[in-house]
Chain A
Amino acid sequence: MDFRPPDMNLWAALPTAVVGATALVTLLLSVLRPAGAARRSISFTLFGLALAAVGCLPAAIFRPGPSFQGMLVLDPAAVLLSLLLLGATAVCVLLASRYLVHDGVDAAEAAVLLTLGCAGMLFMVSAGNLLMVFIGLETMSVALYILAGLAGARDRTSHEAALKYLLLGAFATGFLVYGMAFVYGATGSLDLREIGARIAGGGAAPGFLAVGLALLLIGLGFKVALVPFHMWAPDVYEGAPTTVAAYMAVGVKVAAFMALLRVFNVAAGGAAASWQAAVAWLAVLTMLVGNLVALAQTSLKRLLAYSSIAHAGYLAVGLAAGGAAGAQAVLFYSVAYGFMTLGAFVVLLALERADDKPQLDDLRGLRRRHPLLAAALATFMFALAGIPPLSGFLGKWLLISAAVQAGQVPLAVAAVLCSAIAAFYYLRIVVYSYMREPADDASPVTLAAETRQALAACLIGTLLCSFPFGLWLLSAAGWAAGALR
């Protein structure tokens, strides 16, 4: 039998290879030279992530196409989301160096786990094969199971959150693998482009395909917390260290939505009739439940958890709309959502005290206690609520117009109504921080250097996605969506 070496297009693997190498070198350095390892491993990890971002550029220019026998597809959409994920990881590493270390976690360990989780996410967004989706997802998930339990020595709920995330994550994996088995059975291939070609050519068994897509939707729905499968999210976000919760809310959701986009919108686009209605119903349910339950929350962390559930619903609207317009909306909204949610979590971390989780009342008079933080919080909340010039508005506008273009007017109406509900609790946060008097014993808020840098990064990101600059991102997302296949 003749042996064919794999078609190794190293340009396509460059970003992921750099991220993996960064993790390995950080690990080795921290073991070989323990003195001063914390500071060094953080700065080296940040350097490596920046290098990986630069490593995305050749792919954006040379457009390597599917490589490693179609396993890895670093197309423009993957480059766009890889850049976002690298940025989000860098922000989380920065935050971890301050807050996780405070919880008694070794800085190098946290940085290595965050980086390896990021490698898994990058493999997921550039996966050209169901096997790569699966292994990328598991690399990301295993890293996050551990990260969720990192504060276990100090906080009892951290280990509980890890266990809960693990059990439901593994349960979801069961559905995911079974779904992949049926999709493979229906089409005879694991390669997403071949699957797409067979579905489009009518060579797919419809019964198997429907069962497989339904199971895949359940499996990935758990990961992005779509509504019937969301019950783990608030508890896990609350129990996990806030840095890790932010990483889950942004990284996992963006990576898993890209996988959903590749499997459903692109590969199974020819069989849209079999999944579109289901995704649309899940989207409506997710937006409704997420937003309505968020109204009743007083714990800021739970509120953000339900807000991120609701945003999974908005992203699912783009998925249900389908086509290039839907893909463009999902890509744009993923980037916008990433920055604004990460920013909201950074503010939450800045407000966190050693022994209690921040409540809505802790925001009273934030304008006086720290005007800059209050202004940043207001920006993120306005963006999340979708107030006109900001990124959230552009994203929702794209999603809703994609739904209308696809003829799904009821879905668009539901999205508008749910955004109106959502505006209420986002604006309430702004009202608390601007119009309520601070409590007498309110402590002054001071920001650490790392928090300031992270906040600045999220703020710049949000503003770059907002009106004048956002149009550039909008056309980039449109270009990337057109190149998806």
Chain B
Amino acid sequence: MNFILIAVIVLGAIGLIAALVLYVASKKFAVYEDPRIAQVSELLPGANCGGCGFPGCGGMADALVKGADAGSLEGLNCPVGGAEVMGRVADLLGMAIANGEPKVAVVRCNGTCEHRPKIAEYAGLRTCAAMHSCGAGETACGFGCLGCGDCVKACQFDAIHMNPETGLPEVDDEKCTACGACVKNCPRNIIELRKKGPKNRRVYVSCVNKDKGAVSMKACKVSCIGCGKCEKECPFGAITVANNCSYIDFEKCRLCKKCVAVCPTKAIQAVNFPAPKPVEPKPAEQGKEEKA
């Protein structure tokens, strides 16, 4: 009986002393952390994708709180959570909602097997980065998609997949969070984050080939040849042609699709627009055709 009592007293005393030491230490060496950081962290998606430019959601939360203290959340945007999450974060911090128009990854190459014939066979390591360092790849286009799926491997949201028929990656608009991982991993800078657009409607040049028209046409039937017709046609000044390749500024583009109609190589893509209504041929035109 005596032994048990001694054990209880000794252990109890050790426990008390240890508790006292811990209490003193926690008071003495306390590090103050803004409680809002933890709260903001909880609101963020927690994917740690790095799409915001910070190492993870913790870093982003820290930056958001610091931004709020400095008086502005400008330039801070969680691409994954989008406007909804940013709105909640702004409410919590008592700030105005930070801007953040939804964006989506867009693959700017339409060089399918049919449009862009293979001229060689690549036998090395099947990653785009490796193939890119060996030369133009299996086709004659030194700018287009290599088709090994580095972007697919980079995506943490299962939003980009290779289409086995075209050999090109396709982005799932619903799943894409515009974190930009695919953009960074594409060795040819084909993928771009563009404005998602109303009802996912977008107009873009689906080619990044900077070779002269004759050369790029030889490599791929749907390449941009830099002819400049779209630039002249655009009523909003959204299109610029540089280095034999056209580019549509999505901030200025009003989705009128006039450029799509004039593009001689069909390099400009308009996606998610309703199919054009079948136009009934006018009788006069019919007559002309018959004569011809």
Check if A and B associate.
no
